[in-house]
Structure formats: C-alpha cells, structure tokens
Amino acid sequence: MSDQPHSRLANARETKAVLERFGLFTKHRLGQNFLVSDEVIGHICELAELGPEDVVLEVGPGIGTLTVALLPRTQAVVSIEADRTLPPVLVETCAQDSDKFTLLMGDALKVIPDGVGELAAPLNAPTKFVSNLPYQVAATLILKVLQELPSVERLVVMVQAEVADRICAQCGNKTYGAYTAKLALYGAVTGRFEVGPGNFMPPPHVDSAVVRIDHRPAVDPDDGETLSDSQLAWTCQVVDAAFAQRRKTIRNSMSASGFDKGVLDVAFAAAGIAATARAEKLSPEDFVRLAKALDAATTPMDMDGEGR
C-alpha cells in the first residue's frame, strides 16, 4: 500500500496554509466546513470505484481537498462552485492536473443539467457524482442529479447524517417519507459510512455521513417494464399527495390533495392497497402500482376499448 496521501490538502495544516495564503475565511452561509481527514477522502474514492474512463461531476469543491484526489483517478472532473473567491485557489491546488479539471461557477441547482451538458460537451457525459455537498441543498441536489442526469451511474455524497437517514430509510420507519420513496424510484443505496465533526475544520455542529447511491431504471414491479419519464413524474406526484398529510390515511391525504375518492377506491382495490393505510407503510413498488392503477382508473377508453 502506498504511503502517499489521497489528498495533500486533507489535513488542518495544509488547509490553514491555503486559506491564509489567499486571505480567506470560512463562509458559513455557503456551508463551508473543510474536510481535513485523508482517511475519509480515501474511503470516498473507494466507494466511488473510479476509473480512467470516468467523468466526475463535483459540487462544492471548496479549496479542492476532494478534487485533487479525484483528478488522478479519472478522465476528467467538472466542478461547480458558488463562492467566487475560490477560483484562484482551485487554479493553484488543481494545477498538477489542470488539463483534466474544469470549473463552472454558479448555483448547482440552476446549472444542472443544461450548464453541465454544455461545459462537458468535449468530454463524455458525467458518469459519477462525487461531492462533499453543501448541506442546505444536498437532498435537493441528489434527487435532481438522479432525475436529470441519466448518464450518472453512481453518486457518492457526503451529507448531514439526518439526510442520510432519510435517504436510507425503509418503509414503515418514521424517517421514511416522500423524499425516500421518490429517490428509490431512481436509485438504490449501496453503501454508507459515518463521518464525525472532528474530521472538519471548523467542526460542524452536526454529524455527517457518506452515502453511495447506484442509479438504476425504475421498473413496473408486475411486468418488469422500465417506467417512462412521464410515468416516473406521475408516480412522484402520487407519492407527494400520499405524504401531504402523513398522519392521515392515504385515502384522506390524497383526497385532500385533489384526488377523487371514488377513483381512489377503484385504484386502491386494483393495486391491492388498503385505503386505511398510511403512506409510510407503502413501499416504492406499491406507489408504482398505485400510480398505474390511478392512471387506468382516470384514462378514458378509446374507440377500440383500450386506454390511452
């Protein structure tokens, strides 16, 4: 095993030196807590299983602590950063692999997916999403990447521990909610490890975790057919309505969101779901069945007697 660090920046001494050299300070409004554990960096890279064919998308590179570990392992890294004081830092810290590094400034929620596609046009589309994410937008970004960047095969992301709990929750658990069910339509959690506050400078007031999610196409659990984009979007609408008032039965929650109770009863019967159940008891597969049944119950018959 090599004694070389995964990232030369993943320690407090080097991080402080870089910040002092550029006259910077931590900006809590951007969620900046700098990772100073090379062991964590190494574990992230192991989970990502990077190869020379991979194009990695990274959000929130900061001073490049994770970036410099990703670059030698990949074809290219495309990083999105919101803090406009950081480009000069990244030019320096990523200089060794500058030919493989592309920086895009802006809000990742606005840049993804169109801005990434334009920037990465000379390259292959991003294959992996590896990031120490800004915690305030982490959950939204993860789902957005899964929904809007189908080329991304795997996500390895550091998030707040409670967000990781939501991502990994099983149906029936109080942490399981609309977000969990929707995310499961696009990917499967295949790894997780915990990261304590002491691995950062300054230490955050929350625990963190790294989660690996493998992108997979959602399928109809009954016939194995891959769901279309419109079917996925419809299923997500059904999930949101079911969890809109999660303390109520699924029938009452969905009717309060505008679904006709008569149509709901027909769909519940067709999908084999009790109208008195609560949303957290339904698996992602149950929601696919319910969405399909609702579509059938509300789709007019055409001249041949077949639904649209």
Six-digit token string for 80: 């999105």
In angstroms, the CA 80 to CA 94 distance is 14
Could you read off the pLDDT of 91-145 as tens digits, one per residue? Answer: 999 999 999 999 999 999 999 988 776 655 555 689 999 999 988 899 999 999 9
Question: pLDDT-derived band of residue 169, with 50, 70 and 90 as boundaries?
Answer: very high
Longest dimension (CA), the chain: 74
Backbone torsions φ then ψ of 242, nearest 5 degrees: -65, -35
In angstroms, the CA 121 to CA 22 distance is 32
Of residues 248 and 119, more confidently modeled = 248
pLDDT at residue 37 is higher than 90? yes
Could you read off the pLDDT of 262-292 as tens digits, one per residue? Answer: 999 999 999 999 999 999 999 999 999 999 9
* Chain centre distance of CA 89: 27
Are residues 213 and 155 in contact, defined by beta-carbon separation less than 8 angstroms? yes
Six-digit token string for 172: 């029936």
Could you read off the pLDDT of 60-80 as tens digits, one per residue? Answer: 999 999 999 999 999 999 999
Six-digit token string for 54: 């991979």
Q: Provide the pLDDT for residue 306.
A: 42
- What is the pTM for the complete model shown? 0.91
In angstroms, the CA 135 to CA 156 distance is 14
pLDDT at residue 166 is higher than 70? yes
Q: Provide the pLDDT for residue 71.
A: 98
Are residues 13 and 37 in contact, defined by beta-carbon separation less than 8 angstroms? no
